[in-house]
Amino acid sequence: MTTLNFSHRPIFPANPSEENLVSSIRIANGYVVEGISDKNGDGFGKPRRFNWEIEDSYDCRRERDDRGGPREPVSNDILDILPSDPFGMDISATFTAITGWIEDMEADSEKYVRDDTGDMKGDYQFVAGLNFIWNRAMRFQAEPGSAGVAERSNPVGRVDGCVEEKEFADGSCDGGFLSVCNVEEFLSFGDDDYCAASRPSDDTHEAAESCPPGEGEGEGEAPHDAVSFALRYLGVQDLLSAEKVCRTLCSAVQNDPLLWMNIHIDQPLSERIIDDALIRLTNRAQGNLQSLSLVECSRITDDGVKRVLETNPRLKKLSVPGCTRLSVAGIVSNLKAFKSSGAPGIKQLRIGGLYGVTNDHYEELKLLLGLENCQQPRAYKARFYHNGGHLSPCCDDDRAIDIEMCPRCQNLRLVYDCPSEICQAKQGASQLCRACTLCIARCVQCGRCINDSEYEETFCLDLLCSSCWKQLLNCPERQEEKGVPSSKHTVFHQETRYHFRLYG
């Protein structure tokens, strides 16, 4: 966690001239340190009770969870580093390098960075990033004050920002600063935004001096009400991001049960979510959780599902396709316990992709779901194999349970119909092109059966019928959209936006 504990000394000299700015920069990396004003930047002196997270980022390579661990050389990827100790250690060597570098920037900053590579090999990327920011800061010297603010704030902010928000690959960083409210303005350096981000120095000055949390007159205000309305339209991961924006949104995300009544966990959260995290999220519904969809959440266990059911008696729909740590026996037992606890019970269950479903399991599940002790009526709309089958939401409908007995192999699996007109015209149960994918291979794109016709096998071991294959190869625009290179030697792009997934 990065914090900035500013002294009450103003950051900016009363009459900022360029020279003052530069010397101030040298002094402080953003803070004024008493008694140090030489130009070569050597006189850093002892750091006072300022926040030296930068040091952490320079000197440490640590995991997120490793707070206060040993200092090690900084990793090549600054974004992997999270400083945690607000009271730093001696970073004078590092800052000497930086301030010297800044000094040279007046002449030729780029040259300096290159020269500096040897000394701070591990920091080169970081320094290059800083250089970028400093370069831009220098360009925007419209007013001495604002430029000064940028210059002072940047390294601290940038370091902190980069360090904290490694997950945001677009290069903008969450400053995480609280005291200097508009320091954050300078932390994300979108090309178009930088100018707009500059602020007159007096705002920052004010903000720096009097910015206790929740108060202060820095940039920004409480979020517009409309932003809170929009929370309903966000997925889980975006909601968790929104929590970090400000107190109002955090409170809304954490305390509004309506946001958590229908929880859908998909990529990229699906491979990260664990039982405890799932319980925390479902608890936010405050007992009103209605549907829970966990797509390929391979770390969720039967125990996790059990705990969710225990605390959410109103749950009606449970969808766990591809959750490989769940067992059918576990699901059956959990649903039994759920029902006997007096809950109305689950009405819709999706377990496509779970293996080892026996007939007994199936019968018990049907009972628990309130189905008559017979086959589900075939009044449901046809299900076509598409984009991986059970993983595609478009396969969802009103059925109580998604799996059924395959007419051909008699196993309990997901069964697909055939979109081909020829197959749809077939009459008679034995002729129907309707079976699980082990019995009837299907094109992953259109769902047609691939039996004796030509097909191609994709890199992901899916099958494509010849017409879908040709369509893919002959459509350069679509290929670009979907990220598929147009070379015939490359088969498929692995990005899921083309709906191909690696099954692993």
- Residues in contact with other proteins by the rule CB under 8 A: 1-3, 64-65, 86, 161, 164-165, 167-168, 170, 172-178, 181, 184-185, 187-188, 190, 193, 197, 213-214, 216, 218-227, 229-238, 240-247, 249-250, 269, 272-274, 277, 280
Shortest distance, CB of residue 289 to other proteins, whole angstroms? 18
CA–CA distance, 32 with 320 (Å, rounded to integer): 56
Closer CB to other proteins, 232 or 314, in the complex: 232
Shortest distance, CB of residue 326 to other proteins, whole angstroms? 19
The kind and range of the H/E element at 263 are strand 262-265
Closer CB to other proteins, 103 or 165, in the complex: 165
Is the distance from CB of 57 to CB of 88 less than 8 angstroms?
no
Closer CB to other proteins, 19 or 193, in the complex: 193
Shortest distance, CB of residue 273 to other proteins, whole angstroms? 7
What is the 3-class SS of 439-477, one letter each residue?
A: CCCECCCCCCECCCCCEEECCCCCEEEHHHHHHHHHCHH
Closer CB to other proteins, 237 or 311, in the complex: 237
Shortest distance, CB of residue 393 to other proteins, whole angstroms? 17
Closer CB to other proteins, 301 or 327, in the complex: 301
CA–CA distance, 324 with 331 (Å, rounded to integer): 12
Q: Which residues pair with 384 in a beta bridge?
A: 417
CA–CA distance, 26 with 33 (Å, rounded to integer): 10
Shortest distance, CB of residue 399 to other proteins, whole angstroms? 28
Closer CB to other proteins, 215 or 452, in the complex: 215
| HSE-up (13 A, CA, CB side) for residue 63 | 2
Least Cα distance to 56 among 31, 79, 81, 34 occurs for 81
Closer CB to other proteins, 295 or 395, in the complex: 295
Shortest distance, CB of residue 32 to other proteins, whole angstroms? 21
Is the distance from CB of 259 to CB of 238 less than 8 angstroms?
no
Q: How far is CA 4 from CA 116, 160, 303, in A?
A: 28, 10, 42
Residue 224 has which token pair?
Answer: 């517009």
Shortest distance, CB of residue 85 to other proteins, whole angstroms? 12
Q: Which residues contact 279 (CB under 8 A, 6 or more apart)?
A: 304, 307, 308, 311
Closer CB to other proteins, 48 or 232, in the complex: 232
Is the distance from CB of 211 to CB of 178 less than 8 angstroms?
yes
Shortest distance, CB of residue 250 to other proteins, whole angstroms? 6
Shortest distance, CB of residue 466 to other proteins, whole angstroms? 31
Is the distance from CB of 223 to CB of 237 less than 8 angstroms?
no
- φ and ψ of 365, to 5 deg: -65, -40
Closer CB to other proteins, 108 or 193, in the complex: 193
In our burial notation (b when 16+ CB lie closer than 10 A, e otherwise), range 337-372 reads ebbeeebebbbbbbbbbbeebeeebbebbbebbebe
Closer CB to other proteins, 129 or 161, in the complex: 161
Q: Which residues contact 374 (CB under 8 A, 6 or more apart)?
A: none
Closer CB to other proteins, 62 or 366, in the complex: 62
- φ and ψ of 445, to 5 deg: -90, -50
Residue 329 has which token pair?
Answer: 């026996």
Is the distance from CB of 364 to CB of 331 less than 8 angstroms?
no
Shortest distance, CB of residue 119 to other proteins, whole angstroms? 30
The kind and range of the H/E element at 230 are helix 225-230
Shortest distance, CB of residue 5 to other proteins, whole angstroms? 9
